Structure formats: C-alpha cells, structure tokens
C-alpha cells in the first residue's frame, strides 16, 4: 500500500469514528456452556439450534432435563436443532424420531442491549418445534429479542409410571429449563433477563397457565400472553372427535391416573419396568402420543390442579394478555365433524351436555345457522373456549394488569385442511401467523391483513417492553379491568371494543352451570 493510499484509508477511518458509525455486529456470543457463532443478516442476528439441556436419550428418557455439557471452541448456531419425536398428523406433515431435541433459537436486532425478550411456546403438544416459527418480524418490528423453543411432546413429555420422578410433566420441565437458560444467557444476545414475556397458543397457552402456578417457574418471566388456552376448560364427550369420552379437564390429569395409565400401557408393550420401556424404539411409542398429551398435577412441577390454583388466586401477579379467536372450534369440527347432518346435531349436544341439552338446543336452534357443522362449532366455541377465556381474563385482572382480545378476522388465511362445506372463519390459532408471518402468510394475506399483522407485532412488542400494548399509531386497547373490556383484532377500523359476553352468550352459559 502506498503512503498516499494508507493516509486516505486512515482518514476515512477517523472520519467514520467522528461520525459515530456503529461497528459491524459480530455473530459470536459467549453463553455459560461455550461460544456460539450465529448468522448476521441485514436487520437482525439469528442463532439456531442452541442446546439448553442435555439430550434426553437412553437413561435420560423420562427424566427431568439435565444441564447441557459445556463445549470448547466456537459452536455453529446456523441451523435448527432436531425436532422432538413426532409422527405428524393430517394437519401437520412433520416427523422426527430423534430424542436429542432440546434446542432453542434466538433472533435479535443487530445492535443494542437490555431489549425485551419474548419466549414462544408452540402449541399442539404432539407435533411442532420452535424452528417452525420465524422470529424475525417480531424481533425487527418490535426491537425485541425472540426465543422459540423445542420441548418433549406427547408420550415423551407427559408419560407417567409408578415411582417415576417427574411423571407427566417432562415437557413442562423442559420449558422451565429453557426459561432458566434465557435468564442466565439472554444478556449476551442483547436481551434483558429481567424483562421476559412468555407467549404461547393452545397447548402452549395452557402450559403458560401451568407456569403461572408452578413453583419452579417463579421469577422466570415477568409477563404472560396466553392465546387460546385450555387451562380452565372441561372436555365434554365427543366435543373434539368421535369416541372421546368426557373428562374433567381438557389438558390436566391427576398424577395417580397418569401413572395408572402408564403402567397399563407398559404391560401392553410387554415391559415390566422402566429399563425395558427406555430401550423401546421411538416409533414403538408413537401410538401413545395423544394418550399422554395431558400434563399431570399432584407432583413437584404441578403440586395442584392448575385450574384450582388459578381460581384460588395463586398465580404469579404479572401483566397478562389473553384471548381467543372468534370461531375457535371450527378447526376441530372441520377436522372431525364437517359433514354433520341435521339429525346428528341434537344427538351430539345430548352426548356432550346431558340434561342441559334441551336448553342448549333452544338457545342454538339449527334455524339460526347455515349448517349443522356451524351450529355445533358455535355451541362449543361459546360454551368452552369463550367461557374459559373470559374467566382467565377475570382471574388475571385480579392479579395484575390484563388485556383481553378476540381475534376476529373471519377471512384469515387458512393453513389447515378445511373442507369446502365449512368456512374456516377466525379458526383456532388463526392469529398465530399474524405474529409469526412467514412467506406462506404473506403470499395469501390481503393488504388489510398484512396491516393487521404489523399492528399486532407492535402491540405485542409494546406489551413485552412495558406491560401495556398501547403505543403511537395504534388503535387504543383498554385494560380489561372492571369494565371487562375486550379488544377485537381485525383489519382496518374493526380493531375496536367488542361486546364479548353478548357475542358468545356468556350469560346463558354461566346460568347453565
């Protein structure tokens, strides 16, 4: 390099320093277990496949998560870790037979520190993984750190057996281990470990309700966002699919019953002890996935029934967002009951609600609906989802500032296999792609829906930052409070207050108890 060239280069560097030009971000961070190298993009940094606990394989199958082993050198964090074992379903064509799966992903803006952190707990309980949800839009629109996690599913996360420590709660314990990892390490990624919001839908939302009352989750998060959670819902006979009997709770089961079912299933599999069960191939256990989808209460992770603990005022007193979609149960009717006949409708109501059936049929006569499937959908949306969601908001408001919503875009892009005979409406989990908009959503969404997505991203980032979703340029969202305010989330000016109790006939359902 000539003297003149070197001088010009030095002058350029000095001018850049004087102008305050930010340094180029580095993708290398140090966690407690070792260094990670992520990927630098134009507007964010991403780190994928970060182990937060030891692989639950071999003797660690059906044990609480153990600490991850430290590594030397710099570990590549440029691709997702394995999804937890899952067989896939008619609505989610996923699959994995790998138990080495306790990984998480971090997306963070390119610069800055002490940013709010949102930890996403995906739903379903038998399929899914954190990597299926793109945290970039939420991280960049909200100037926040977004974490998505894997956790053990189905029989691997909820199995129970007499004398087995942690029976029925391994998936919940995984989630708490991920939250502890966040508390210990997220500062290295620019996040504030003292400002963590847990956010989840459906099974993930119910899991958050469990963490609100679980001793092991105390202090691991400061805000909660519960979407379409089933924590306070019973499950009437036949409500989800044919042949499913009534149970007291949609998502919870006692420890004694969980262990009893586990022992019976072990015998059917030809095993007399845990050692035998732990040696079974993953796919040999797939038929039991949904049988152990419920979490067990009565043990160390969940000492008591979460619904009872919530109603007794034992939840962590944290700010909360909670809500449902306008047409929750159309998803389940579309999957299992789409061709429902007029003659079958009263039989289903009678099977599910017994002596209360006649009153329900008078309140929801077929003459009010375009099809029996829509009638049955509305009965269960109102009687199960809306009733439980409103109670969750009422209980949350007793413990902290609470904001309630109804996702009301009845033309939301559908990513589920709905039959032509049943309009999806604002179906179960229809709001999730608006917070994690991927290419599929962007290709299908109309301009007003993309605008709603941008609005929701700001609402949730504001809530994570301050405990209040409101901010400049957004329609005002009042606190649930004594007025029982519920915000409808829909394109354009339809984002406004909705009379949720009237819309879902809550007075009727509460009088039916």
Which run of H or E residues covers position 127?
Answer: none
In this structure, what token pair is assigned to residue 358? Answer: 């006649």
Q: Are 416 and 476 in contact (CB under 8 A)?
A: no
Output b/e per residue, 374-386; b: 16+ Cβ within 10 A: bbbbbbbbbbbbb
Output b/e per residue, 258-294; b: 16+ Cβ within 10 A: bbebbeebbeeeebeebeebeeeebeebbebbbbbbb
Q: How far is CA 362 from CA 350, 351, 357, 358, 379, in A?
A: 13, 16, 9, 6, 11
Q: How many CB atoms lie within 10 A of CB 473?
A: 7
In this structure, what token pair is assigned to residue 5? Answer: 């060239």
**Left if phi > 0, otherwise alpha if psi is -120 to 50, otherwise beta: which for 281?**
beta
Q: How far is CA 363 from CA 157, 342, 379, in A?
A: 40, 16, 9
User: If 0-12 CB within 10 Å is exposed, 13-18 middle and 19+ buried, where does residue 490 land?
Assistant: buried
Alpha helices in 370-511 (DSSP H): 372-380, 387-399, 432-435, 439-444, 447-466, 500-503, 506-511
Q: How far is CA 261 from CA 160, 167, 264, in A?
A: 8, 11, 5
Please give the Cα distance from 479 to 465 (Å, whole number): 16
Please give the Cα distance from 159 to 166 (Å, whole number): 9
Which run of H or E residues covers position 150?
Answer: none
Residues with catalytic roles: 202
Please give the Cα distance from 150 to 457 (Å, whole number): 22
Please give the Cα distance from 392 to 311 (Å, whole number): 9
Judged by DSSP in three states, 203 sits in: helix
Please give the Cα distance from 495 to 453 (Å, whole number): 12
In this structure, what token pair is assigned to residue 269? Answer: 């599999």
């Amino acid at each position: 390099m000539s003297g003149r060239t070197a001088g010009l280069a030095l002058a350029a560097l000095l001018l850049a320093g004087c102008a305050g030009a930010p340094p180029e971000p580095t993708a290398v961070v140090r966690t407690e277990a070792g260094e990670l190298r992520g990927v630098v993009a134009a507007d964010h940094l991403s780190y994928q496949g970060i182990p937060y606990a030891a692989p639950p394989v071999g003797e660690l199958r059906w044990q609480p998560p153990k600490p991850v082993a430290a590594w030397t050198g710099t570990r590549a964090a440029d691709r997702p870790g394995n999804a937890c074992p899952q067989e896939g379903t008619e609505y989610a064509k996923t699959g994995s037979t790998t138990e080495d799966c306790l990984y998480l992903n971090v997306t963070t803006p390119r610069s800055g520190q002490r940013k709010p952190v949102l930890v996403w707990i995906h739903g379903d309980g038998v399929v899914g993984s954190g990597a299926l949800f793109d945290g970039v839009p939420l991280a960049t629109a909200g100037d926040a750190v977004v974490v998505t996690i894997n956790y053990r599913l189905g029989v691997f996360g909820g199995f129970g057996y007499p004398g087995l420590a942690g029976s029925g709660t391994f998936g919940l314990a995984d989630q708490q281990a991920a939250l502890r990892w966040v508390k210990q390490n997220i500062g290295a990624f620019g996040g504030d470990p003292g400002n963590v919001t847990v956010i989840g839908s459906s099974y993930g939302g119910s899991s958050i309700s469990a963490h609100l009352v679980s001793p092991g989750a105390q202090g691991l998060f400061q805000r909660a966002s519960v979407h379409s959670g089933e924590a306070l819902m019973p499950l009437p006979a036949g409500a989800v699919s044919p042949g499913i009997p009534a149970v007291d709770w949609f998502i919870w089961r006692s420890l004694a019953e969980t262990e009893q079912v586990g022992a019976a299933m072990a015998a059917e599999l030809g095993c007399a002890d845990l050692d035998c069960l732990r040696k079974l191939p993953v796919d040999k256990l797939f038929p039991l996935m949904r049988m152990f989808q419920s979490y067990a209460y009565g043990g160390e992770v969940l000492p008591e029934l979460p619904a009872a603990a919530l109603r007794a005022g034992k939840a962590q007193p944290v700010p909360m967002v909670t809500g449902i979609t306008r047409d929750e149960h159309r998803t389940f009717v579309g999957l299992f009951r789409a061709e429902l006949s007029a003659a079958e409708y009263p039989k289903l109501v009678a099977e599910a609600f017994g002596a209360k059936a006649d009153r329900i049929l008078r309140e929801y006569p077929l003459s009010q609906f375009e099809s029996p499937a829509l009638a049955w959908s509305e009965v269960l949306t109102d009687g199960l989802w809306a009733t439980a969601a409103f109670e969750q908001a009422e209980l949350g408001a007793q413990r902290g500032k609470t904001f309630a919503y109804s996702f009301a875009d009845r033309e939301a892009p559908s990513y589920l296999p709905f039959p032509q005979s049943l309009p999806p409406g604002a179906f179960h989990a229809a709001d999730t792609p608006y917070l994690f908009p991927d290419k599929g959503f962007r290709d299908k969404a109309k301009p007003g829906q993309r605008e709603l997505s941008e609005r929701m991203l700001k609402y949730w980032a504001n809530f994570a930052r301050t405990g209040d979703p409101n901010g400049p340029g957004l329609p005002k969202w009042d606190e649930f409070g004594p007025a029982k305010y519920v915000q409808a989330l829909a394109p354009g000016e339809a984002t406004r207050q909705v009379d949720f109790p009237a819309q879902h006939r809550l007075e009727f359902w509460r009088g039916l108890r």
